Every structure is written in C-alpha cells, then in structure tokens.
Amino acid sequence: MLAPLKNLLGNVTMYVALQKALGSDRLRYRCLAELDLRDGDTVIDVGCGPAYYFDRLPKVTYFGFDTSERYIAHATARYGSERATFSTEIFGERHLGVLPPADAVLLLGLLHHLSDEDSRALLRVASQALAPGGRVIAVDTCYAPGQGRISKWMSDNDRGEHVREPAAFEALARESFADVSGEVVDDAIRVPSSFWMMRMATPLHVPTA
Ligand SMILES: C[S@@+](CC[C@H](N)C(=O)[O-])C[C@H]1O[C@@H](n2cnc3c(N)ncnc32)[C@H](O)[C@@H]1O
C-alpha cells in the first residue's frame, strides 16, 4: 500500500471513516450476523482495532486485543466498561484459563497481516480458547480466482503483507479445526474487492495443562 495512505489509516478517525465510506463495516456486520451471538456470550476479538462495530454486539462479555496503542486507547475510551476490556497484549497461550472460554473468537481483517507461522499459532490458541460449541470467524482480503483488475489491484495494495488465496487460509485453519468453511465475498463493499470469510469450529487440539 502507498505509504501516505498507510499513515492515514493509523489515524483512528480516518480508519473508521474510510471503513464506513467503503462499506467495509457491512462486511464486519455480516461476520457478526454469522455468529448469531446472544446476551451473556463471551467474545474474544483479536486485532480488534478501534472496534467500531462494538455497538452491533448483543450484551456480551468482550475482550479486545490489538497491537496498536492508538486503537486500543480509542476503543477503551469509547467502549471500555465492566463487560468490555481492551488490551495491547499479544493474545496467546498465557490467556488460556485466565479469560473465560469464548463462545466466539473474531479475527476480522487480521490473518492477512500475519505470516503463516503467526497465523498458525494464533489459530491454534483461538481454537483452544473456545467454549464447547464455540466458533471462530475470520475475514480477509484475498486473491480470488477470476477476480477483476480493480479487485486484484486492491488485493495487491492492501496494508496486509500476507494476502492469500482462499485455499491457503483454509489450509492454515484446517491445522486447528475439524470444521472449516468459507466463501469469497465480492459484493460487500463499494469498491470491487475480494474477501475470504471463513468459519471455523470443532478444535482439534485440547489446551495443554
Ligand atoms: C485491518 S485492521 C482490523 C481491525 C478491526 N478488526 C476491524 O475489522 O476494523 C487489523 C488490525 O490488526 C492489528 N494487528 C496486527 N497484528 C496483530 C497481532 N499480532 N495481534 C493483535 N492485533 C494485531 C492491527 O493493529 C490492526 O488494528
């Protein structure tokens, strides 16, 4: 992505405004709808950014993680409460058993920023963080077979350095989940773009004691 645009997206207000202008918020809401969350559920959101979609959640207990101090400060000021905690810690094994088991883990726009190795580790810990029946949803810019020129340009110029084809995202998920399904979404936002929305359930690995 062009450096000036990258810098602008580090600005919280610009990031949220651009997401809404492009219609990327609708893609997030679609992911949330997939989860069918209920009051009282526990949600872990890794790479939550400013969590501008927080108000769309029912009355869940929410834990948001992001490496950006700016995003976390913004989210905390706006949504922090008894049931919403935001942290700049890297979500990992040390959080298992400390946080309550999650009914859902959100990875909205994260995996295409992570290397295969980091994605693998995160997906494994996400699988271990789930309550029985829990599920994970991810959505990422992807390279889709047959995508048009503008869509391809969008994928080439995404901020994420690990934009993949659906099969590559799916292969990573299958290392940690027995149930993986997904679809290319290319009608969600106002600019031609391709996203891979991926649902994951049924963890393959139990947490180590
Ligand atoms: C495309 S943004 C998505 C933010 C938010 N989920 C959304 O949908 O608007 C990706 C976010 O991942 C964060 N991030 C990158 N690497 C991370 C990591 N290892 N752990 C947590 N957050 C990370 C970035 O700071 C950024 O806020």
Answer for the pair 92, 115: CB distance below 8 angstroms, yes or no: no
Q: Is the CB of 108 under 6 A from ligand 1?
A: yes
pLDDT in tens, 160-208: 999 999 999 999 999 999 999 999 999 988 999 999 999 999 999 876 6
What confidence score (pLDDT) does residue 10 get?
64
Report the alpha-carbon distance of residue 29 to residue 54 in Å, rounded: 10
Dihedral angle sign, alpha carbons of residues 153, 50, 126, 203: negative
**Atom of ligand 1 at shortest range from CA of 91:** 20
Ligand 1 centroid–CA 141 distance in Å is 13
- The pLDDT of residue 155: 97
Residue of 66, 78, 122, 195 with the most ligand 1 atoms within 8 Å of its CB, for mutation = 66
* Cα distance between residue 198 and residue 162, in whole Å: 16
Triad 166, 107, 75: Cα angle to 5°: 145
Structure tokens at 40: 């009282």
**Distance of alpha carbon 77 from its chain centroid, rounded?**
21
- From CA 142, how far away is CA 134, in angstroms rounded? 25
Q: CB neighbours of 29 closer than 8 A, spacing ≥ 6?
A: 53, 56
- Express each pLDDT in 98-157 by its tens digit: 999 999 999 999 999 999 999 999 999 999 999 999 999 999 999 999 999 999 999 999
Q: Is the CB of 105 under 6 A from ligand 1?
A: no
HSE on the CB side for 154, CA within 13 Å? 19
**138-155 confidence digits (pLDDT tens):** 999 999 999 999 999 999
> Which of 55, 93, 113 gets mutated to test ligand 1 (max ligand atoms within 8 A of its CB)?
113
**Ligand 1 centroid to residue 27 C-alpha, Å:** 15
Amino acid at 9: L
Class of domain 3-203 (CATH, top level): alpha beta
64 Cβ below 6 A of ligand 1: no
